[in-house]
Amino acid sequence: MKVMKFLVLLMLLSSEYKASAQTVNNKFPQIGDRIEDHTFTDLVNYHDKSFKISDYKGKWLVLDFWSRWCSSCIATFPKMNKLSQEFYGKVKLVLVGVYDHSENRSEELLIKETFNRRRKRYGFDIAVAFDSIAGRKYCISTVPAIFVINPNGILVAKSIDIDSSQLAIFLKGYIPNYERSYSLLEKKHDGPYYRPKIPLLTNTRMSNGGVDTSFIARSIIAKWQPGMAEYILYGWSDKQGIGGSDIPGWAEAIGQNLNDLFRLAYTGESGWSYASNDSLYRIVSRKLILEIVDSTSFKESHSDKRFGYSLKMPVKHSDPSLMRRTLLDDLHRYFNLKSYMETRLVDVYKLVVIDKKKLMKLQTKGGEKKYISNGFTTKFRNYPLSEVIKGIGPAGLDVVCQFNINKTPPILSYIGTDFNVDWDYNADLRDWNECLELLRKNGMDLKMDKAEMKCIVIKDANK
């Protein structure tokens, strides 16, 4: 179990960039200000040995900050490479790999290896800068962090993502809708922030006839705003979520989209993986079946499609199943929908044996049970194949595949045997193709197929 948790940790969908105590600049760049100049000297796919931000005066510049631990950053390399080609001559896009020299001198080598492996495999030609100073200089706290700088050197946007349509709008001199990235110590808004010890949108003060927390029961749903928590879940199952409350009869789901809320209403979890809940993973499809006229409200990648839901009920009605039913009823009413769960055939990946002789060559020679990993190679010694598969098969590849576990078809193991193995898993766990090649080299493969699973079906209420 420890190996599975460790390997999945390597593939987190976002990453916190940890700067050292030595701060180069404690003033974060603000949108609308001229960005402080910086010289990048460690470059790949660039026509010169160095460049300064000021070199691009009169031109658009996009800096995409990333780290080697950020799987969602790495997953966007193909898209950013394509954008670089599409806007060639109009915008200069640079991937800026940030690392901290003070913690470990090997970080520089590892982040370069992370990109170079992909450059060789996929032929990326986008410019890349590796830098141990820029992250602290610009107070980068989380990655991805994308800086859009106009021809006057003005920082016009700090985003966590960017696409072709948004970039085209920037070039026309307008600001598109985008999901903001925030610097270290930067306030997300000027109003009050979410307080986890009281219900959403309350402040325990007199408001319109009484104290705004004196109600016996209440349910509300609001559009997510920067002052709310990012991803808070509690009160829906026996497991407490991050920032959870121990108050009976109180449940909240904040920063969730409609897909999350419907999954929560039916299962008590907004999403699941092989590692987090393998029994649910094998039975219930994470992907909702949308049989509705307009599905735009179910887009998972847009911040304007996220919500905050708060439910307070009398303690005698505080059983999680009752709370979930109330949430489901509210979703039906608020969005004029109906839903049900039924068994349907869905796409799945089946992990199968294609060459038993190759697979049996992994059989252990004995010794201490252990594993060692550096993020690229994981050495298993005398480890049960079933545990390894949980880490690098259904659990690991589940996250690697397109980096969206709620859209990825489930990966079901059909290996059908178990024995202890010695296996040098020499593949980047964040690269789907590398993992596939190594599986095939050792007698296994993933085959797309169909299987029956329980599915949440959404329909328009008036249909």
Looking at residue 225, its pLDDT comes to 78
Chain mean pLDDT for the chain: 83
Q: Which of 21-35, 106-120, 123-137, 143-157 has the lowest mean pLDDT?
A: 21-35
Q: Which of 89-93, 304-308, 413-417 has the lowest mean pLDDT?
A: 304-308
Instruction: Check pLDDT > 90 for residue 405.
Output: no
pLDDT of residue 261: 95
* Cα–Cα distance for residue pair 141/17, rounded to 1 Å: 5
Provide the pLDDT for residue 301. Answer: 59
What values do phi and psi take at 199, rounded to 5?
A: -60, 155
**What average pLDDT does this structure show over 372-400?**
69
**Would you list the domain boundaries of the chain?**
10-171, 218-335, 346-454
Question: Contact 172/160 with Cβ under 8 angstroms?
Answer: no
Q: Quick one: pLDDT at residue 338? A: 97
Q: Which of 16-20, 82-86, 255-259, 385-389 has maximum average pLDDT? A: 82-86
- Of 71-75, 335-339, 345-349, 393-397, which has the strongest mean pLDDT? 335-339
- The CA angle 39-44-49, to the nearest 5 degrees, is 45
**161-165, 202-206, 258-262: least confident range:** 202-206
In angstroms, the first-to-last Cα distance of the chain is: 46
Half-sphere exposure of 309 (CA within 13 A, CB side): 28
- Cβ distance 144 to 72 under 8 Å? yes
Q: What is the pLDDT of residues 280-297, one digit of tens each?
A: 888 999 899 999 999 888
Dump pLDDT digits (tens) for 18-69.
544 344 455 788 999 999 999 999 999 999 999 999 999 999 999 999 998 8
Q: Which CATH architecture has domain 10-171?
A: 3-Layer(aba) Sandwich (3.40)
- Residue bearing tokens 């709310």: 228
pLDDT confidence band for 214 (50 / 70 / 90): confident
Q: Taking a C-beta distance cutoff of 8 angstroms, is the pair 158, 181 a contact?
A: yes
Q: Indicate the pTM of the whole model.
A: 0.79
DSSP letters spanning 68-125: TT-HHHHHTHHHHHHHHHHTTTTEEEEEEEE--TTT-THHHHHHHHHHHHHHHHH---
Mean predicted confidence (pLDDT) in 331-355: 95
Which range, 26-30, 96-100, 456-460, has the best average confidence (pLDDT)? 456-460
Counting residues of the chain whose pLDDT is more than 70, the rounded percentage is 82
Alpha-carbon 206 to chain mean position:
39
- Written as one letter, the residue type at 428 is D
Contact 243/232 with Cβ under 8 angstroms? yes
The pLDDT, as a whole number, for residue 134 is 93
Examine the pLDDT at 303 and tell me if it is beyond 80.
no
- CA dist 380 and 384 (Å) reads 9
- The whole-number pLDDT of residue 250 equals 86
Q: What CA–CA distance (Å, rounded) separates 56 from 278?
A: 50
Of 95, 98, 183, nearest in space to 140 by CA: 183
What integer pLDDT is reported at residue 270 of this predicted model? 87
24 versus 225: the higher-pLDDT residue is: 225
User: Would you say residue 242 has pLDDT above 50?
Assistant: no
- Residues 312-339 have a mean pLDDT of 91
pLDDT digits (tens, 9 = 90+) for 415-453: 888 999 999 888 777 787 888 888 899 999 989 999 999
- Give the span between the Cα atoms of 396 and 12, in whole angstroms: 11
Which pLDDT score is estimated for 44?
97
